[in-house]
Amino acid sequence: MTADHDDPFDVARLVVAHDEANAYDAVVPPIAQTSLFTFSSYAEMEETYRGLKVRPTYTRGLNPTVRMFEEKLAELEVAEDALGFASGMAAISSTVMTFTKPGDRIVCVRHVYPDAYRLFETLLKRWNVAVTYVDGRDEAEVEAALPGAALFYMESPTSWTMEAHDVGALAALARRHGVLTAIDNSWATPIFQRPLTLGVDLVLHSASKYLGGHSDVVAGVVAGSKALIGEIRRTAYPYLGGKLSPFDAWLLIRGLRTLPLRMKAHEASALEIARRLAAHDAVVSVAHPGLGNALPTGLEGTSGLFSFTVRDDVDVPTLADALSLFKLGVSWGGHESLVVPAEVVRKQAAGPNSAIDFGVDARMIRLHVGLEGTDALWRDLDAAIDAASNKSRA
């Protein structure tokens, strides 16, 4: 080929310089944004389909960019393997459905993520899977519920109420009774809690939260042993089809690069705001695992999400509307600070879930403390609480 190598726009030159192995020496890996992968020959295609050669064929099964994210997450969670999903709920539902069958019973800590609870109360009930809810802080209650269960589903700290558990002790109880364990680790992330090292079998994440970290991805992941992840990969993953997209995997890889720095910043700022709220006379209580008692064994830090409950004479709608840095919005884990009044989500109107109360005090307010300046966030919150207290006094 007679390419003009002085012309930077000559495509032939690019092809000559292309190095398959290191992808142009790009510091950020390229995205394999493709639905399918072609074969060079009949023989190669046949070898692949017979399982003699492992290579991507179709992105619902295996994609190199998704695989890159899975490998990085497995390393962070000290897992043999991991599997990415289109959402945290896809990871949760596929995992739970892989390891349960009609007639089984799940033991679940109370106050898990509300949509996980709704999954158990709707679809799984229809499939004749029963659920026993337990207070994860009460080891005797947990142990009494375990015999005969197919799965112990954990989350620590729990959603909204922030009940933090001794995850290692609970995992040991489950192991003694031969019960498989899974935990939702979205809140702590592997930076602050590595459940597999505490004896849990499977660790789940909504990667939409801290792993992504920029509020631009909805994704999920499960990590664990090769055998358990292989079981999900062969059953629920391809056939329920909740696969992670290559572009979203690429955004997650981007997010992971700053995860330790972001978590330390969320931790410091949220702890400071939680302490100031606890000292505020309009606040009845603050649910933050870092206030009061020591953190349970295995939890090495705290993140930016916590709740507080205001006095009866504080007008919550006024408080919410008076905030400007804290935006009204669900989800969390991104750079931005967010607020959710419990009363609003308790009133969730549409669909079959409306009757399911997930057991949270109506006067509770959940905050996600983002990466803005702590003092600016506190001024915003303090002024809004003031406005809401004055209004009810007037």
Structure tokens at 387: 């406005």
> Residue 31, interface with ligand PLP (CB under 6 A)?
no
Return the number of the residue (189 or 269) whose C-beta is nearest ligand PLP.
189
Backbone angles phi, psi at 116, to 5 degrees: -65, -45
Which CB, 65 or 185, lies closer to ligand PLP? 185
60 is known as an active-site residue: yes
The reply on whether position 201 binds ligand PLP by CB under 6 A is: no
Which residue type does 186 have? S
Q: Tell me the window of 4-12, 72-80, 146-154, 206-214 that interacts with ligand PLP (CB under 6 A).
A: 206-214
The SS3 assignment for 93 reads helix
Check residue 307 for interaction with ligand PLP (CB under 6 A).
no
| Contact characters 90-129, ligand PLP, x per CB under 6 A | -----------------------x-x--------------
Least gap, CB of 375 to ligand PLP (angstroms): 27
Catalytic one among 110, 194, 209, 243? 209
> Which residue's CB is nearer to ligand PLP, number 63 or number 159?
159
Locus of tokens 């000290």: 78
Q: Which residues, 6+ apart, have CB-to-CB distance to 388 below 8 Å?
A: 282, 310, 314, 315, 316, 318, 319, 322
Q: Which of 87, 98, 156, 307 binds ligand PLP (CB under 6 A)?
A: 87
Q: How far is the CB of 135 from ligand PLP (least distance, A)?
A: 18
Q: 207-226: which residues touch ligand PLP (CB under 6 A)?
A: 208-209, 218, 220
**What are the b/e assignments for 167-206, b being 16+ CB within 10 Å?**
bbebbebbbeeebbbbbbbbbbbbbbbbbbebbbbbbbbb
Instruction: CB nearer to ligand PLP: give 107 or 314.
Output: 107
Q: What are phi and psi of 98, to 5 degrees?
A: -70, -35
Structure tokens at 182: 């899974």
Q: How many residues of this chain bind ligand PLP (CB under 6 A)?
A: 14
Asked if 386 and 326 count as a contact pair (C-beta separation under 8 A), the reply is no
Of the candidates 235, 313, 301, 316, the one whose C-alpha atom is nearest the C-alpha of residue 268 is 301
| Residue 391 to residue 394: CA distance in whole angstroms | 5
By CB under 6 A, tell whether 83 contacts ligand PLP: no
Q: In this chain, which of 156, 206, 303, 309 binds ligand PLP, going by CB under 6 A?
A: 206
User: Whole-angstrom Cα distance, residue 8 to residue 122?
Assistant: 59
- Indicate the residue among 283 and 308 with the shorter CB distance to ligand PLP: 308
Catalytic entry in 72, 81, 166, 184:
184
* 242 contacts ligand PLP (rule: CB under 6 A): no
246's tokens: 């290559």
The residues annotated as belonging to the active site are 60, 113, 184, 209
Please report, as ranges, the residues that interact with ligand PLP according to CB under 6 A. 87-89, 113, 115, 159, 184, 186-187, 206, 208-209, 218, 220
